[in-house]
Amino acid sequence: MPERKFAIQKPALTPFNVVAGIIVVIGVAITGIRFTQGLAATTNLSDYNPWGIWIGFDLLVGVALAAGGYVTSAACYLFGLKRFHSAVRPAILTGFLGYALVVLALHYDVGRPWRLPYPFIVQSGTTSLLFEVAACVALYLTVLFIEFTPAALEWLGLKRARRIVNKLTLVLTIFGVVLSTLHQSSLGALFLIAPSKLHPLWYSPYLALYFFVSSIVAGLSMVIFESTLSHRYFHDKMDTEHLQEADGVALGFGKAAAFVLAGYFVMKVIGLAQTNAWSYLSTGYGLWFLVELLGFVLLPCYAYAIGVREKNLKVIRWTAAWTVLGIVVNRFNVGLIAFNWHLPSSERYFPHWMEIGISVFVVTLGVLAYRFIVTHMPILYAHPDYDKH
């Protein structure tokens, strides 16, 4: 890509850079307060509400939206759908950054970063779901890091190391799918321990299944959404393969998302029948549940189907953004809104502005890291010195 060498340098003080810089400065300041003065100074967490948005958003939403890595690599390397190959590296990068930021955000909630390895060396039993989540996230983050390294190694010119890592592609993909299946579902299973706290419309013995299946939808939608943004902001970094395959990726992933969403919708309705929670549908919570189920599951399912039938990429891309929002709504509902639903409003949780500040800070770090990597490493184009793997 010789033309890249002569690219005109953009000014450093763009509106994006200024806003990102302000967010980072505020985030660093809040980080200082959090780790010197504790949770009470920076959060509205309490004994009733020990999990706030650092878990409900940063962890639950972060892990779900990072599912594009295993979904795309499984489609390409396990199911042999090589026409999605150009989507693998951006999806792996998004997944890797997503999980890395999940672990970073977890530090804010848990505190004492030096205790991060405790689940492996000091713990009361391997039957704990939290142990399973910790083990899988740690292992999967390692897998994603290794899956991401070919791009970094090509950038660094380390051909031998890149060749060795490439040979691990299939094994890593299988590991990724297995580990993701385990911990995506376990995050939902965490709430099985609290049947009296989670509203009956959201509580279900199938919670683990809901989280896993919705993570597939999240992964598919996130790849389309992220690809749309990349096309808009990093169009000049893309080679012809990425540009040519992008529409096919959106159509193929949109079709898969439509069908998986249909299955997810059916599972949710059957879950409703199994817990016999129909009577709650006529309450305020029931209305909000229907907004989630019809507005963020059935509607995108139909919209994806229409987009695929009509080959309307605009509809598919807007639907992907809507579905990503739907995943956020679902995780917020399970983790925050429908949790402790029986408590009086005075005892309910609403995040402190510093909690929101840290979440925005973490997302901004992710965007900045993504931008740095995409502009420096062969993510959206194939490096001319290396074969495709």
Distances (CA, A) of 93 to 48, 70, 120, 379: 37, 11, 27, 8
Residue pair 312/306 in contact by the 8 Å Cβ criterion: yes
Q: How far is the CB of 220 from other proteins (least distance, A)?
A: 12
Kindly tell me which residue out of 52, 56, 176, 252 binds other proteins, with binding defined by CB under 8 A.
Answer: 252
Q: In angstroms, what is the minimal distance from the CB of 87 to other proteins?
A: 14
Helix (H/G/I), strand (E/B), else coil: 339? strand
- Rule CB under 8 A: is residue 263 a binding residue for other proteins? yes
Backbone angles phi and psi of 339, in degrees to 5 = -90, 135
| Separation between Cα atoms, residue 110 and residue 54, nearest integer Å | 10
Q: Which of 11, 79, 112, 127 binds other proteins (CB under 8 A)?
A: 79
> Residue 349 and residue 197: Cα distance in Å, rounded?
13
CA distance 184 to 64: 7
**Cα–Cα distance measured from residue 134 to residue 186, given in angstroms and rounded to the nearest whole number:** 10
3-state secondary structure 219-256: HHHHHHHHHHHHHHHCHHHCCHHHHHHHHHHHHHHHHH
Regarding 298 and contact with other proteins (CB under 8 A), the answer is no
CB of 330 to other proteins, least distance (A): 20
**78 near other proteins, judged by CB under 8 A:** no
Whole-number Å distance between alpha carbons of 25 and 104: 17
Task: Compute the least distance from the CB of residue 56 to other proteins, in Å.
Answer: 30
Give the SS3 label for residue 11: coil
Tell me which of 20, 26, 81, 158 binds other proteins, using CB under 8 A: 81
35, 155, 259, 322: which one contacts other proteins (CB under 8 A)?
259
Q: For other proteins, which residue of 276, 282, 345, 346 counts as binding (CB under 8 A)?
A: 276
124 makes contact with other proteins (CB under 8 A): no
Minimum CB separation of residue 304 from other proteins in Å reads: 9
Is there binding between residue 209 and other proteins (CB under 8 A)?
no
388 binds other proteins (CB under 8 A): no
266 belongs to the binding site for other proteins (CB under 8 A): yes
Q: Does 82 bind other proteins (CB under 8 A)?
A: yes
What residues contact 240, with CB distance under 8 A and at least 6 apart?
A: none
Q: Does residue 313 bind other proteins (CB under 8 A)?
A: no
In whole angstroms, how far apart are CA 75 and each of 71, 81, 220?
A: 6, 6, 10
The answer to whether 279 contacts other proteins (rule: CB under 8 A) is: no
**Among positions 141, 182, 260, 305, the unique one binding other proteins when judged by CB under 8 A:** 305
Question: What residue ranges bind other proteins (CB under 8 A)?
Answer: 79-83, 251-252, 255-256, 258-259, 262-263, 266, 269-270, 273-274, 276, 305, 308-309, 311
